[in-house]
């Protein structure tokens, strides 16, 4: 049994390679915002978000007081969702990849609302409340 060969078509191989590379390129473009937790939340100015590349792509928010990153995801005009960057399977950090959040450890995939699309994760990502104000975005941590 150990000597059995598995063959795949060239098309299948190239399609799989393209998906993997697309995922890598998708996560390579996520900008990171180094924040500070103040009074149980994180405030990001809209001007700083624009400087990081705009408000139309997910931004990875990190802070010394947070064990895991938070993904700030734009949803429509002037609205945002804040999702934990910690995979609910084994705790690896998920990465934005197109319209999904993907765990690089075991392939769990979540939609931009934090819901599981593909396992092995069974539970959705934690969602943090967001207050979108005229000049800033506030993520409520605790």
Residue 106 a catalytic site member: yes
Taking residues 15-19, what's their average pLDDT?
A: 42
Query: What's the rounded Cα separation, in Å, for the pair 114 and 19?
Result: 21
Q: What is the pTM of this model?
A: 0.76
Nearest to 67 by CA among 137, 140, 141, 123: 141
Q: Which of 106, 118, 131, 133 is catalytic?
A: 106
The whole-number pLDDT of residue 52 equals 77
Give Rg (Cα) of the chain. Answer: 17
List, for residues 76-135, the tens digit of each pLDDT value: 777 899 999 999 999 999 999 989 999 999 999 999 999 999 999 999 999 999 999 889
Contact criterion met (CB below 8 Å) for 92 and 104: yes
Six-digit token pair at 110? 């979540």
Architecture of domain 31-140: 3-layer Sandwich (2.102)
More confident residue, 16 or 7: 7
List, for residues 18-35, the tens digit of each pLDDT value: 444 444 434 445 789 999
**What count of other Cβ atoms lies within 10 Å of the Cβ of residue 82?**
22
């Amino acid at each position: 049994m150990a000597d059995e060969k598995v063959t795949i078509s060239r098309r299948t191989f190239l399609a799989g390679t393209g998906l993997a590379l697309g995922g890598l390129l998708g996560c390579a473009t996520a900008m990171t915002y180094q924040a500070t937790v103040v009074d149980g939340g994180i405030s990001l100015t809209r001007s700083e978000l624009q400087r990081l590349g705009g408000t139309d792509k997910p931004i990875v928010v990190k802070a010394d007081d947070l064990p895991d990153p938070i993904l700030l995801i734009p949803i429509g005009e002037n609205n945002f969702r804040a999702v934990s960057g910690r995979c609910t399977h084994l705790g690896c950090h998920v990465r934005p990849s197109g319209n999904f959040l993907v765990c690089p450890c075991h392939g769990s995939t979540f939609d931009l609302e934090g819901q599981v699309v593909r396992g092995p994760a069974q539970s959705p990502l934690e969602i943090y409340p967001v207050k979108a104000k005229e000049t800033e975005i506030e993520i409520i941590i605790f």
